[in-house]
Amino acid sequence: MRGIGSIDSLSSILEGLARRLGIESKLLESRLRRDWVSIVGEPIASNTWPDQIRYKKLYLLVHNSVWLHQLTFLKPTLLHKLNMVAGGELVTDIVLRVGEIPSHVVISSAATPTIEVDVTASEAIQAETLPHVSAIQDPDLRRQFTSVISRTLRVPTPPGQGPSHAP
């Protein structure tokens, strides 16, 4: 039985469980797909996609042969970044393959991120909503927050209870 001072953190318990179940690489795959832009940067992320990890090799889909050639020179840097994210050496090599990048992940480097606002909202509500949702990276979550904020701002406040009438 352990003493009071030897309580393990939840993260260390989950890491040990993932290691025992052999799902560390699957968890890393998921994290790479979710955070790919922040890990490698927009120019690389818009032309690549982490396909899978097998036997400590990351299979990376590349938009075309020009990017494949360029990334061969960047492999050591990418490996270092990936293993820093993984918290250990879970990836020892990167296999580059020219392939089709899923359409929902293609990022245009020329385009600026768009913030979707309910079209029925007035311009004042849009102006109030944009600063609150602009930092949200996930488009679905950003859309939901925008909708909730817009609905809340559209609800009329009874006279004397608005922010301008606060005591």
Q: Spell out the domain ranges in the chain.
A: 22-105, 112-156
What are 133-164's pLDDT values in tens digits?
777 777 777 777 777 777 777 665 555 555 55
Tokens of 86: 């993984």
Amino acid in position 108:
S
Other Cβ atoms closer than 10 A to 32? 22
Q: Give every CB contact of residue 146 below 8 A, 6+ residues apart in sequence.
A: 115, 116, 117, 118, 129, 133
CATH topology for 22-105 is GMP Synthetase; Chain A, domain 3 (3.30.300)
Tokens of 119: 């079209």
Tokens of 47: 């032309």
pTM exceeding the 0.85 threshold for the entire prediction: no
Average pLDDT over residues 6-21: 74
